[in-house]
């Protein structure tokens, strides 16, 4: 019977006592928004324009100056005269913060590896010319989809407000390293919805997204 009070004492002590290892676990969670522009290679059409970008990222401290975690980003890449494109990517994220600036400032660099889904909306474009005419008809073209794998690289500057809140600005390049799907296949582009046309017209190849430059601002919860 004496074992029960002893067991109760052990459980209570283990529950209420401070755990040094847990107290040393630091991390951050940040949300940002800004502008992005993608640059393509191999395109048979014009370059994409500027569009909004949003990103959520979180890290845990691996070393005093190194944090690792995950990121999720979404951006819109408009294409003049073609369907707008949306990207949803996520993956691993690492951040290094060397002690270069005095508090409350922080200068850091980051990189990672991620992948995700890319979609281009349907659009109206020139198809085949009707019988007896030399002017192409304007017809709807199908949407296309694909997958992209990327390596984000960039720098950031953070300012600590009132603990644990920080504001930050980031300049980044997201480099496309692999592409899959009809969106990135020059032989499998958007198809015109034009009954009776033979052969069925296809849209131009809009290129591979080799790099996206982004400038964003955000707020983070960091300890």
Residue-wise pLDDT tens digits, 151-161: 999 999 999 99
pLDDT, residue 96, reads 97
Looking at the structure of the chain, the number of domains it has is 1
Residue 60 lies in a domain: yes
- Do 216 and 24 form a contact (C-beta atoms < 8 A)? no
**Residue 15 confidence (pLDDT):** 44
Residue 1 within a domain: no
- pLDDT higher than 80, residue 39: yes
Classify residue 90: in a domain, yes or no: yes
Q: So what's the pLDDT on residue 5?
A: 53
pLDDT above 50 for 20: no
Give domain status of residue 12, yes or no.
no
Share of the chain above pLDDT 70, in %: 89
Distances in whole angstroms, Cα of residue 15 to Cα of each of 10, 12, 19: 9, 5, 9
pTM for the model stands at 0.84
Q: Which residues contact 31 (CB under 8 A, 6 or more apart)?
A: 54, 55, 56, 218, 219, 220
Asked if residue 53 is part of any domain, the answer here is yes
Tell me the residue range of the domain where 76 lies.
38-121+144-188+212-222
Residue with tokens 């395109």: 43
CA separation for the pair 155, 173 (Å, rounded)? 9
Any domain includes 129:
no
pLDDT in tens, 46-95: 889 999 999 999 999 999 999 999 999 999 999 988 989 999 999 999 99
51 assigned to some structural domain: yes
Which residue would you say has higher pLDDT here, 125 or 12? Answer: 125
The CATH number of whichever domain residue 167 belongs to comes to 2.40.160
Measured CA angle at 79 (ends 192, 140), to 5 deg: 20
Residue 3 contacts residue 182 (beta carbons within 8 Å): no
CA dist., res. 71 & res. 39, Å (int): 22
Of the ranges 13-22, 33-42, 210-219, which one carries the lowest mean pLDDT score?
Answer: 13-22
In a domain, 57, yes or no: yes
Q: Kind and range of the H or E element at 208?
A: strand 208-222
Q: Is 2's pLDDT higher than 70?
A: no
């Amino acid at each position: 019977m004496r074992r029960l009070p002893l067991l109760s004492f052990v459980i209570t002590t283990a529950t209420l006592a401070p755990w040094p290892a847990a107290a040393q676990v630091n991390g951050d969670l940040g949300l940002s928004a800004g502008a992005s522009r993608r640059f393509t290679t191999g395109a048979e059409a014009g370059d994409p324009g500027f569009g909004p970008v949003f990103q959520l990222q979180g890290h845990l401290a691996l070393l005093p100056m190194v944090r690792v975690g995950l990121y999720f980003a979404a951006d819109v890449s408009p294409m003049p005269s073609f369907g707008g494109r949306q990207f949803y990517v996520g993956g691993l994220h690492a951040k290094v913060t060397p002690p270069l600036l005095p508090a409350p400032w922080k200068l850091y660099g980051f990189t990672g590896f991620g992948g995700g889904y890319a979609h281009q909306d349907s659009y109206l474009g020139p198809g085949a010319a009707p019988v007896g005419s030399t002017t192409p008809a304007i017809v709807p073209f199908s949407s296309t989809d694909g997958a992209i794998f990327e390596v984000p690289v960039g720098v950031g500057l953070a300012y600590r407000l009132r603990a644990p809140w920080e504001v930050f600005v980031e300049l980044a390049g997201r480099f496309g390293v692999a592409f899959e799907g009809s969106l990135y296949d020059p032989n499998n582009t958007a198809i015109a919805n034009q009954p009776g046309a033979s052969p069925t017209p296809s849209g131009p190849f809009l290129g591979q997204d080799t790099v996206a430059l982004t400038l964003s601002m955000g707020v983070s919860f960091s300890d």
